[in-house]
Amino acid sequence: MIVHMLRHGDTEATERRLYYGSTDLPVTEAGAEHLREMRSKGGYPAVGGLKVYTSGMLRTEQTLELLYGDVPHEALTELREMEFGEFEMHSYEELCRREDYIEWISGDNMANRCPGGESGNDFAARVLREFKNIEARGEDCLLVVHGGVISCIMEYLFPGERAGRYDWQPKPGCGYTVTITPRRVCRSELPDEKPAWMDKGYSFFQNRACEYFPCHKTARTDDFSCMFCYCPLFALGEECGGNFRYTKNGDKDCSGCIIPHMRENFGRIIGKYPLIRQLAAKKNCKDR
């Protein structure tokens, strides 16, 4: 299972360093321009074959559109940012003389609730309840959400690795890719630097002399790769992350899946190889 998590672009509140979560702010024009610039440099995952989610809040919807265009997606409202109640849209300088704020920030603010808002524990329970649903479905997905949400998930997946939850918080437009297998969880940061395999001969191959080229319908024949003629992920069954279906006879039909044949998906395919190794290891253990 592969989960990509991206934080939305800059808003008025991030630029002014205000507490905010439930306030439905748009991405600023400067924030939008920054996202466009980051997109032009590459390094964001392709969305083909991924389930795509936002929190439904305007800033996450706008960020998804700025980075990927109009792609099908769902809103998971439990992945919205923490609600700061009476502290919403105020800065530290505006709040530092309020007794209720001093009590909240200097005490156990994971357990203490903001007046009219959530505690850190309330927030984490809400977010992780939804994330565990995604885990249970085993979906390869893209989450375009919030800094606090991403921090909660990373602290859950990598407990004790950093001093506090918000040490995991990415910058706007950035985030993490996490690969989850039964034996290990590993991560990398987003957007990636240009992958080492990009533009290398070993990552792309075409055989236009093949009678079946292209064996899947596409308008992008120049980017159609024959590298994985027979998809190495076929044996993963439902864990392959592709656009397959099962026939009435129970056979796996991948005729509608073009993911392994697109130039940009080489890294996505080899990223699944740990699952293939596990499958082979289990088979070998049984044979012994």
Q: What is the pTM of this model?
A: 0.69
Q: What is the pLDDT of residue 288?
A: 45
Q: Identify the CATH number of the domain in which residue 175 sits.
A: 3.40.50.1240
- Mode of pairing for the β-strands spanning 141-145 and 74-75: unpaired
Which pair of structure tokens corresponds to residue 149? 């949400």
Q: Are 35 and 7 in contact (CB under 8 A)?
A: no
Residue-level pLDDT at 194: 64
pLDDT averaged over 10-residue windows placed end to end, the chain, 288 residues: 96 94 96 92 87 98 96 97 96 94 87 93 97 94 97 93 86 94 83 74 92 88 91 87 87 90 84 79 53
Domain count, the chain: 2
For residues 134 and 10, membership in a common domain is answered with yes
Residue with tokens 């990009």: 198
207 and 147: one domain? no
- Asked if residue 278 and residue 160 are part of one domain, the reply reads no
Note whether 23 and 125 are same-domain residues.
yes
Same structural domain, 182 and 241 = no
What's the pLDDT at 193? Answer: 62
Same domain, 129 and 226: no
Q: Report the pLDDT value the prediction gives residue 287, as an integer from 0 to 100.
A: 47
Is the same domain home to 161 and 100? yes
For 2, phi and psi rounded to 5 degrees?
-120, 130
Last residue of a domain, one of 190, 214, 241: 190
SS3 state at 160: coil
Determine the structural domain holding residue 239 and report its residue range.
201-287
Tokens of 202: 């070993």
